[in-house]
Structure 1
């Protein structure tokens, strides 16, 4: 079960847009992530690589935790919003719930629940 201080530091890292670094610092080496009901990605190195690949397509990202954060023992639910400015001139707003299972101070399983239509980039009229 994560301490309140660990959760605070994790959220702070994500809000700093240090997504890959947060995975490195707070996820177990055998951790898994899945998007909605898609098959999970497994292994911290795999998770970091996937995160970096996504972020490489973005010019800017704004990450925000919408409080409160819910914790019950080793289970945590975080409501996130992400605003992406893509290199191609489009933008996306993503609102999701992250459902996590922690072992001690490390995340071992995480599932993201969101509407996939949010990921479709909007083009700006002047782009």
Structure 2
């Protein structure tokens, strides 16, 4: 009986030590990453989906955005030189937004969509060839 009590006491001590060590690791990780934009991105609800509307190779690209309520966001469509072709600003109240751009009117080449919400930035590359879009 004395041996069983000793084993239980050692097991409880070991378990407590492991839980305390893990708690300290989490606490340190939270306080040390406050200036990291990666940490801020992970805590954000900023998500982007892209798809062509209608038939395949329609050259009409749809972008679906979800974001945090209470934060403003900006969507910029730029060419490879950085020239802004279109810019949309999304207010604090909206949590979802859909954007469509017709690529049939622009030259073949590389384009970028940049979505900004606070410190979070997502950049998507689009390549337009003669008859197709790749993204």
TM-score normalized by the length of structure 1: 0.29
The structure, 1 or 2, with the larger RCO (C-alpha pairs under 8 Å, 6+ apart) is: 1
- Higher Rg: 2
